Amino acid sequence: MLTDFSRALAQIGDPRFRRVLWIGLALTLALLAAVYAGFIAVIDIFTPDTITLPWIGAVGGLSTLLSWASLFLMLGLSVFLMVPVASAFTGFFLEDVAQAVEDRYYPSLPPAPAVPLAEALVDNARFFVLLIAVNVVALAVYIFAGPLVPVLFWAINGFLLGREYFQLVAMRRVGRQGAKQLRRRYPLQIWLAGVLMAAPLSLPLVNLVVPILGVATFTHLFHRLSGTRAAPSG
């Protein structure tokens, strides 16, 4: 599994990886910026620019202060926001990244059959809704988890992301039913690989590259579990 990840990381300089990486970074930053702008707008609407305190008088710049504070809040929220972002953007990255991995490490494979667009969109949307629903429910659990919050976050989202990434990557080669069968045969390995993806999502800025590395890692994982040997890395 660590070999799968290290191969994905080693290929980050591939021109197709770089192209997808920059597009993914732009889309992710745009989404986070839009959410942040929404926070600022709400603060400006509901917070007066000055307030009057007893014995002190008028204090100005409150909305500006809260706006700066919200920047740090958004850095923390990005940990949770990046989970659905990583899920939602997978479909955009999947084909380019998976094909780049296969061209480099599995050149003898025939071209992957095209997955019907409607089928891929339905699966991606289903996973996305499931991810949001589970994380909303998990928020109530996090309140009582104390120092175990990161462990629960990694465990829950590792399971969900692992399930999604593996299903979508495997569908390219063996179809939906074949992907389900293979996923049910190796649940522990897929879950642990998902945790390996979920853990960096906890780190602001680092989490921006996780969607690309996730697709690449699970492409290697799929081929390893299905018995396809990788070409030498030299």
**pLDDT, one tens digit for every residue, the chain (234 residues):** 788 888 888 888 888 888 877 887 787 777 777 766 776 676 666 655 554 544 554 444 444 545 555 566 666 666 666 677 766 666 677 888 899 999 999 999 998 887 776 777 777 778 878 887 887 788 788 888 888 888 988 999 899 889 988 998 998 899 888 999 999 999 999 999 999 988 887 776 677 788 888 889 999 999 999 888 877 655
Q: Is residue 233 part of a domain?
A: no
Q: Is residue 234 part of a domain?
A: no
Residue type, 122: V
Q: Is residue 143 part of a domain?
A: yes
Rg (CA), the chain: 21
CA torsion sign for 23, 24, 30, 34 is positive
Give me the domain span that covers residue 21: 2-225
Q: Is residue 21 part of a domain?
A: yes
Q: Is residue 196 part of a domain?
A: yes
Task: Tell me, rounded to whole angstroms, the distance of Cα 87 from its chain centroid.
Answer: 5
Q: What is the pTM of this model?
A: 0.78
What does the alpha-carbon distance between residue 69 and residue 3 come to, in Å, rounded to a whole number?
41
Domain count, the chain: 1
CA dihedral of residues 77, 78, 82, 85 (deg, nearest 10): 90
Q: Is residue 232 part of a domain?
A: no
Task: Fill in the DSSP letter of residue 58.
Answer: E
Q: Is residue 230 part of a domain?
A: no
